[in-house]
């Protein structure tokens, strides 16, 4: 049921013209994975390889993400992966505020269909969609309740490929949240919000 609704949505995304990003892109990248496990990963935007294949996280950063998942006993088939914008920005630049705002409706439809328990934000853009004032250096690795979800901010895997310090922190954040990511039902025990505490949330 979810899969067919997501396929239908992907067809709408393929012909979307709400912003100009489609003009320079070869393919839309709506997202892929298992919509039933309760875990949604949200990155920033498709890059070169993603644009060619129409699939999210298939370049070096994607291979590294697969590796991070494997280390905590998961695979790509155990999560659903998407991005804030569904077409590649030219030269891999960050999507603009207007482009993100234009694409939000697709993300919201994916949230409605998937009903994730845990949302892992990869990088600053998806983090600030759910926690607008948060700094990734302050909140990474800590789960927070936002709307009906637990939002777990993480550094973007591409940032980890550029910095050993971020690699260490990202791998540690995955390990720290191994239990939650393997059992998203644990999310119901997480009660603190970023706005309330400004600190790490607790089980």
List residues binding ligand SF4 (CB under 6 A): 13, 16-19, 21-22, 28, 85-87, 99, 102-103, 106
Smallest separation (angstroms) from ligand SF4 to the CB of 25: 7
Burial class (CB in 10 A: 0-12, 13-18, 19+), 144: buried
Smallest separation (angstroms) from ligand SF4 to the CB of 172: 33
Based on CB atoms, which residue is closest to ligand SF4, 19 or 118? Answer: 19
Based on CB atoms, which residue is closest to ligand SF4, 65 or 85? Answer: 85
CA 71 to CA 196: how far, in whole Å? 32
* Contact between 49 and 59 (Cβ < 8 Å): yes
Smallest separation (angstroms) from ligand SF4 to the CB of 30: 8
Based on CB atoms, which residue is closest to ligand SF4, 51 or 169? Answer: 51
* Contact between 84 and 103 (Cβ < 8 Å): yes
Smallest separation (angstroms) from ligand SF4 to the CB of 7: 15
Based on CB atoms, which residue is closest to ligand SF4, 99 or 169? Answer: 99
Smallest separation (angstroms) from ligand SF4 to the CB of 54: 12
* Contact between 130 and 42 (Cβ < 8 Å): no
**Quick one: which of 139, 133, 116, 112 has its CA closest to 199?**
139
**Residue for token pair 């995304």:** 13
Angle at 76 between CA 72 and CA 40, to 5 degrees: 90
Based on CB atoms, which residue is closest to ligand SF4, 87 or 117? Answer: 87
Question: What are the tokens at 149?
Answer: 């979800």
């Amino acid at each position: 049921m979810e899969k067919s609704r997501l396929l239908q949505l992907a067809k709408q995304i393929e012909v979307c013209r709400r912003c100009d990003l489609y003009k320079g892109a070869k393919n839309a990248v709506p997202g892929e994975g298992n919509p039933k496990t309760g875990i949604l990963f949200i990155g920033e935007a498709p890059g070169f390889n993603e644009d060619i294949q129409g699939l999210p996280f298939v370049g070096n950063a994607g291979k590294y993400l697969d590796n991070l998942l494997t280390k905590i006993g998961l695979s790509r088939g155990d999560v659903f992966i998407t991005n804030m914008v569904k077409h590649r920005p030219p030269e891999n630049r960050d999507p603009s505020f207007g482009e993100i705002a234009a694409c939000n409706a697709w993300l919201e439809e994916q949230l409605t269909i998937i009903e994730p328990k845990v949302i892992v934000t990869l990088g600053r853009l998806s983090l600030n969609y759910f926690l607008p004032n948060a700094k990734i250096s302050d909140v990474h690795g800590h789960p927070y309740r936002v709307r009906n979800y637990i939002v777990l901010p993480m550094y973007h895997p591409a940032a980890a490929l550029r910095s050993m310090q971020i690699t260490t922190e990202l791998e540690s954040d995955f390990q720290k949240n191994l239990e939650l990511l393997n059992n998203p039902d644990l999310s119901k025990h997480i009660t603190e919000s970023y706005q309330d505490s400004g600190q790490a949330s607790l089980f």
